[in-house]
Amino acid sequence: MRLLFLGDIVGRPGREAVRDAIPRFVEKHQPDFLVANAENAAGGVGLTPELAMELFSLGLDVLTLGNHAFSKKEITSILDSELRVIRPLNFPPGVPGRGYTVVERNGVRLGVVNLLGRVFSEVHLDCPFRAADAALSALVTKADFVIVDFHADATSEKAALGFYLDGRAGAVIGTHTHVQTADERILPKGTAFITDAGMCGPVDSVIGMRPADSIQRFLTQIPERLEVAGGKAMVQGVLVDWNDAGRPTNIERVAMRP
């Protein structure tokens, strides 16, 4: 079985690049499941119900979120009913939506867990490590293969969660930095891991946003709004393969440049 996971989709350029890339990826790699992080899909921050449906129409099976999960308030209207959109599990109890889900294809059940890191985080969250334990326990009889989208800033926190879940999760895939890392590998006890899957968004940008806006923010320290950059967009992600026993056999980076 094969999963294609795409890093954070940023704004319209990212959505259009994903729309163009998916048929080509599907033809070339024939993934059984397609999952993407969509926390930046709507104007660079958040996700709306309409854009979630647009992304599902492209063939995506599950959309994960992150620190921008609730940046577009409209999303809360579908988080309790739409099982294919998940937000980080370690938000406080009572927050709308769910932090993990299961999708099935050809009799194989893929579990997807979304967690948010705490290092450099502006929101105070429950422990992602303990939340991961709870999710894996809940999914043990419900899924044949479980991937974790760990949406976090610090490489150390991501690597630590990878090793913490090594041999228990099928894959731990980092998101949030929008920069694809070159450390994809199978960890000693068998979990597929990458620190960050990268971004689907504008190439000439500061993590998806207009460079001039970002530079101005750094120069003035005034939190001006950042606009999604224009120009051509790239698509980045990873392929994860596993065998009939549910053991990961390969993880590799994929990228499509304009």
Positions touching Fe ion (CB under 5 A) are 8, 39-40, 66-67, 176
Cβ atoms of 239 and 2 closer than 8 Å: yes
Mapped onto helix, strand or coil, the DSSP state of residue 51 is helix
Spatial separation of the C-alpha atoms in residues 83 and 78, rounded to whole Å = 9
The least distance separating Fe ion from the CB of residue 202, rounded to whole angstroms, comes to 13
Pick between residue 176 and residue 210 the one whose CB is nearest to Fe ion. Answer: 176
Mapped onto helix, strand or coil, the DSSP state of residue 21 is helix
The least distance separating Fe ion from the CB of residue 189, rounded to whole angstroms, comes to 28
Distances (CA, A) of 131 to 125, 143, 150: 10, 17, 11
Measured at the CA of 129, the angle between CA 123 and CA 135, to 5 degrees, comes to: 100
> What are the tokens at 258?
């304009």
Pick between residue 87 and residue 176 the one whose CB is nearest to Fe ion. Answer: 176
Residue in the structure block whose two tokens are 């194989």:
108
Cβ atoms of 201 and 14 closer than 8 Å: yes
Pick between residue 8 and residue 61 the one whose CB is nearest to Fe ion. Answer: 8
- Residue 68 annotated among the catalytic residues of the structure: yes
The least distance separating Fe ion from the CB of residue 40, rounded to whole angstroms, comes to 4
The least distance separating Fe ion from the CB of residue 186, rounded to whole angstroms, comes to 26
Pick between residue 175 and residue 191 the one whose CB is nearest to Fe ion. Answer: 175
Spatial separation of the C-alpha atoms in residues 256 and 18, rounded to whole Å = 9
> What are the tokens at 192?
């597929």
Burial (CB count within 10 angstroms: exposed 0-12, middle 13-18, buried 19+), residue 164:
middle
Nearest to 235 by CA among 218, 210, 258: 258
Cβ atoms of 146 and 113 closer than 8 Å: yes
Catalytic residue among 29, 68, 124, 176: 68
The residue sitting closest to Fe ion, measured at its beta carbon, is 8
The least distance separating Fe ion from the CB of residue 32, rounded to whole angstroms, comes to 25
Pick between residue 72 and residue 176 the one whose CB is nearest to Fe ion. Answer: 176
Pick between residue 47 and residue 187 the one whose CB is nearest to Fe ion. Answer: 47
The least distance separating Fe ion from the CB of residue 81, rounded to whole angstroms, comes to 24
Spatial separation of the C-alpha atoms in residues 23 and 28, rounded to whole Å = 9
Supply the residues annotated as catalytic.
68
